[in-house]
Amino acid sequence: MRALSTAATGMEAQQLAVEVIAHNLANMNTAAFKRQRAEFQDLLYQTLRQPGANSSDTGTIVPTGVQIGLGVNAGSVYRVTEQGSLSQTGNPYDVAISGDGYFRIQLPNGGDAYTRAGNFSLSPEGELVTADGYRVEPGIVVPQEARQMIINQQGQVQILLDGEAEPQTIGQLELVIFANEAGLEQIGGNLLLESAASGAPQPGVPGDPGFGLINQGFIEASNVDAVTEVTALIKAQRAYEMNARVISAADEMLAASSNLR
């Protein structure tokens, strides 16, 4: 009975959906986290009667045929890259991107990663770094004698020194964009890697066409909506229960047929 295996694929699919929803809810307070959505596709069909086949020697054809579906399969887990709300922190080293773009981060192995989580700090050497101590590229060093650091919306980093009325520019924050943001590879720690699906990074300056602006003293919040996720959870749970009921019904039908005398 095909219903047994078909319903089993449905239960596996809904289990994946619940796992994705759980991951979203777990990261409701993760800076710049982008919620994910499980997407599914139907499996191969068993063709019992081919649509369009000849049904007689006079040329009549079968209008629809008979094709039995074999269930569902996970197509992808898509990352929704819509903008999260901006939360003010008052920390001068926190920066949020309003619009498109990613910060470029240097990994310990020398490679590049990308993030929208701008909860930065200073290293013991005064470099702007992530929460894990990874350098924000291009490297920006804030002198110890600086009494204030200012980052404008175009990403220009300036400092004020004692006895000086005019700020000095010490660096420029840069952003990168990708043709397909959803194709970036997630490695945890709020970091993403370039992949063949994302395309090559295209660098630019905040405020350039296609690039967002920088907001100092803000953090981009997660774009997870609790109501949406709980609603999706209820739907996935009900779908799981209905597929389980199909398995029970198929089992009862097999039991009935095996008891025939």
Chain segment 29-60, per-residue pLDDT in tens: 999 999 999 999 988 787 778 887 887 778 78
Q: Are residues 160 and 40 in the same domain?
A: no
Q: Are residues 146 and 49 in the same domain?
A: no
- Calculate mean pLDDT across residues 78-100: 92
Q: Which residue has the tokens 């398995």?
A: 247
Under a CB-based contact definition with an 8 Å cutoff, are residues 174 and 203 in contact?
yes
Q: Are residues 113 and 195 in the same domain?
A: yes
Q: Record the pTM.
A: 0.85
Q: Are residues 56 and 165 in the same domain?
A: no
Q: Are residues 214 and 229 in the same domain?
A: no
Owning domain of residue 235: 2-81+224-258
The residues, ordered by sequence, that sit 6+ positions from 221 with a Cβ below 8 Å of its Cβ are 29, 31, 32, 84, 85, 86, 87
Q: Are residues 164 and 124 in the same domain?
A: yes
Q: How many domains in the chain? A: 2
Q: What's the chain's average pLDDT? A: 91
Q: Are residues 129 and 196 in the same domain?
A: yes
Smallest CA-to-CA distance from 204 within 158, 154, 168 is with: 154
Sign of CA dihedral 129, 207, 196, 115: positive
Q: Are residues 198 and 149 in the same domain?
A: yes
Q: Are residues 115 and 161 in the same domain?
A: yes
Q: How confident is the model at residue 67 (pLDDT cuts 50, 70, 90)?
A: confident
In percent, the amount of the chain with pLDDT more than 70 equals 100
Q: Are residues 21 and 64 in the same domain?
A: yes
Going from the C-alpha of 56 to that of each of 59, 61, 62, the distances in angstroms are 6, 7, 9
- Calculate mean pLDDT across residues 153-161: 91
- Calculate mean pLDDT across residues 73-98: 92
Q: How confident is the model at residue 180 (pLDDT cuts 50, 70, 90)?
A: very high
Q: Are residues 214 and 142 in the same domain?
A: yes
Under a CB-based contact definition with an 8 Å cutoff, are residues 103 and 139 in contact?
no
Q: What is the pLDDT of residues 121-140, one digit of tens each?
A: 999 998 999 999 999 999 88
Under a CB-based contact definition with an 8 Å cutoff, are residues 115 and 99 in contact?
no
Q: What is the pLDDT of residues 191-230, one digit of tens each?
A: 999 999 999 999 999 999 999 999 999 999 999 999 999 9
Q: What is the pLDDT of residues 226-261, one digit of tens each?
A: 999 999 999 999 999 999 999 999 888 888 888 876
Q: Are residues 50 and 164 in the same domain?
A: no
